[in-house]
Amino acid sequence: MADTTGTATSDMVADTGADGIRRRDFINIAAISAAGVGGVGVVLPLVSQMSPSADVLAESSTEVDVSAIQPGQAIKAVFRKQPLFVRRLTQKEIDEANAVSAGDLRDAETLAERTKEGHQDLLVTMGVCTHLGCVPLGAAEGENKGEFGGYFCPCHGSHYDTAGRIRKGPAPTNLLVPEYAFTSDTVIKVG
Amino acid sequence: MSFPWAKQYEPTNGVMQWLDERLPLPRLVYNAVGAGYPVPRNLSYMWNFGVLAGFFLVLQIVTGVVLAMHYAADASVAFGKVEHIMRDVNWGWAMRYAHANGASFFFIVVYLHIFRGFFYSSYKAPREMIWLLGVVIFLLMMATAFMGYVLPWGQMSFWGAQVITGLFEAIPLVGAPIKTWLLGGFAPDDAALNRFFSLHYLLPFVIAGVVILHIWALHIPGSSNPTGVEVKQESDTVPFHPYYTAKDGFGLGVVLIVFSLMVFFSPNTLGHPDNYIEANPLSTPALIVPEWYFYPFYAILRAFTFDFILPAKLWGVLAMFAAILVWFFLPWLDRSPVRSGHYRPLFRKFFWFGLIPCMAALFYLGGAHAEEPYIMLSQIATAYYFLHFLVILPIISSIEQPEPLPFSITEAVLGSDPNAKLGTTAAPAA
């Protein structure tokens, strides 16, 4: 019963049963568990609010008309607010890309694996260096294409070859080929 | 918490007496930076930089709060808002230039404060906790400065955000999702700009909190001094006020003259012209480098260009963070019982001819283009940097024969100490 004088008596605090468990142990565990579950429930929305919001995710596909790109030319498009390189390779560039054995590369991939069947001359990659996210040079006329004739990232000196594969410098992987498909012979849909 | 001869606070009138009994704040200030804090009498000007760092923290908070009144963290208007501050807001140009240069000066005085600690081994027992809290403050400063640099939404802001959040992509498996989570998108945009603004406003107050802990920890053993010999007696100390309020005040005056010269005559020298071009996600500036105060760590990041078990990029990121985290272990890596570099002949040589040139090289190389010979030089300097802390320092601190220490601070200052017995030398202060 409640002690109306306000003093906790020893039999109230240490009401130990035959098994040595106090009644108050149950209250402790129940209270801490409730606070813990509640805490997780509060942290989840706090963490999740940092992830991309619905309007950011809604901008996640782009269509590009590739008919006007001549061999040796490239265009920059925008996909998910990041640059997208679409490049029509010359026969020489295709031969150069196929001349190296993919197994010797840091990120082993062949040109065929990085392009679509029947469109081996159309290289679609993100224009985002896989090192720290700069935009490599080489898509526009007259820019430095690096030692392997593809793309060159000026920030930290990564060289990509004509298939957009990392050949020299700090970048760990090839330029990312985003998910895309030909919706007609001349239009690709990225994302 | 203080020496027994410390002066006691006496309220001078009834109002202060009344306040002292209810909220002894004047007593706290008196004991912390007033006449109630006895300080070694031999502090050199190298001991000014703690107070100076505190001054620049306050300057940054005051100018920053003013700038926030005229700024908007929206990617479509942020760049224009900064120009609005520069052209339209009354005294806006002065506030912004003071804030931008204030960040640089904050780092200058903190770097000198840290290097004072390196030379005089201020991190040794019983002051380890002061040092550890100081490294925490430095890390918080770096995070705050980085996020602040993104806010003007110029080209360097945008690409700085892209590169620094890109560091997290180096983490295996979860790196890319972490980057997206940090940015709230696939590239820096509105979401990133807003959260950086929010955190840039918050973190200085966190820094102020850790600074209070840093000073609290300092007041337990009291300040170190250039001899490294601990305070033994009243004649070794003078009260903080008026002696060091005056000395710090003089140093503050000198620094403010230099600061004013920068703000009023050369406000953009420490910045990058590309940041006056609005952020363009499709075009990277030719030379991406952070602000000068990050150069040493940026040079270390870029020094790793080859894969060795782990990818080069991950090595670079790990080394960059390790370059600062190694400071946390300094109290235990340096095993010499003697603190001051003045009495450590071997340590002194490696400090002036090893660590200092190495840091100077890293400062230079971090701002250079990523091409030879700078890459190779960065690799050499990075290797030496870690060698200094992890190998050279533990070895020389074990083998060197220190020079004789003075008996006391009093003896170091006056040439003799009546309390020093003939033929005795002071025990190494440890």
Sign of the CA dihedral B143, B141, B301, B310? Answer: negative
Amino acid occupying residue B228 = G
For chain B, what is the radius of gyration of the CA atoms?
24
Give every CB contact of residue B197 below 8 A, 6+ residues apart in sequence: B68, B71, B73, B147, B151
Q: What is residue A155's predicted lDDT score, i.e. its pLDDT? A: 78
- Which of A69-78, B6-15, B231-240, B332-341 has the weakest average pLDDT? A69-78
Q: Is B74 part of the contact surface with chain A (CB cutoff 8 Å)?
A: no
More confident residue, B241 or B372: B241
B-chain residue closest to A53, CA distance: B184
Q: Compute the average pLDDT of residues B257-263.
A: 97
pLDDT at residue A136 above 60?
A: yes
B194 touches chain A (CB under 8 A): no
B247 flagged as catalytic? yes
Q: Of the ranges A38-42, A140-144, B238-242, which one carries the lowest mean pLDDT score?
A: A140-144
Task: Say yes or no: A154 contacts chain B, CB-CB below 8 A.
Answer: yes
Type of residue found at B146: F
The predicted-structure confidence for A153-164, as pLDDT tens digits, reads as follows: 887 788 998 888
Closest CA to A177 of A92, A109, A99: A109
CA torsion A44-A46-A47-A52 (nearest 10°) is 120
Interface predicted TM-score (ipTM) of this complex, two decimals: 0.71
Name the residue among A188, A187, A184, A152 with its Cα closest to residue A167.
A152
Q: Give the amino acid at A143.
A: E
**Contacts for A148 with CB less than 8 Å, ≥ 6 apart:** A96, A159, A160, A161, A162, A167, A168
Residue B333 confidence (pLDDT) above 90: yes
Structure tokens at A180: 């895309």
Domain boundaries, chain B: 23-268, 289-403
**Distance of alpha carbon B78 from alpha carbon B161, whole angstroms:** 15
pLDDT tens by residue, B77-122: 999 999 999 999 999 999 999 999 999 999 999 999 999 999 999 9
Q: Tell me which CATH code domain B289-403 carries.
A: 1.10.287
Contacts of B312 in chain A (CB under 8 A): 170, 172
Sheet holding A158-161, edge to edge: A149-153, A158-161, A166-168
Question: Which among A51, A78, A155 is the nearest to B284, CB-wise?
Answer: A155
A165 touches A109 (CB < 8 A): yes
Nearest to B168 by CA among B308, B316, B282: B316
Nearest-CB residue to A76 (from B162, B195, B282): B282
CB B130 within 8 A of CB B113: no
Q: Is A12 a residue whose pLDDT tops 90?
A: no
- In whole angstroms, give the CA distance from residue B153 to residue B278: 6
Nearest-Cα distance to chain B for A162, in Å, is: 20
Set of chain B residues whose Cβ sits within 8 Å of the Cβ of A127: 282
Distance CA A166, CA A131 (A): 10
Is 60 exceeded by the pLDDT of residue A14? no
Q: Residue B428 — pLDDT band, cuts 50, 70, 90? A: very low
Q: Does A82 touch chain B (CB under 8 A)?
A: yes
- When CB atoms are compared, the residue of A52, A81, A131 closest to B281 is A81
Q: What would the CATH number be for the domain defined by B23-268?
A: 1.20.810.10
Cβ-defined contact of B282 to A78 (cutoff 8 Å): yes
DSSP classification of residue A180: E
CB contact under 8 Å between B288 and A154, yes or no, is yes
pLDDT digits (tens, 9 = 90+) for B179-212: 989 999 888 999 999 999 999 999 999 999 999 9
The Cα B195–Cα B192 span in angstroms is 5
For range A42-58, the mean pLDDT: 87
Check CB contact of B319 with chain A, cutoff 8 Å.
Answer: no
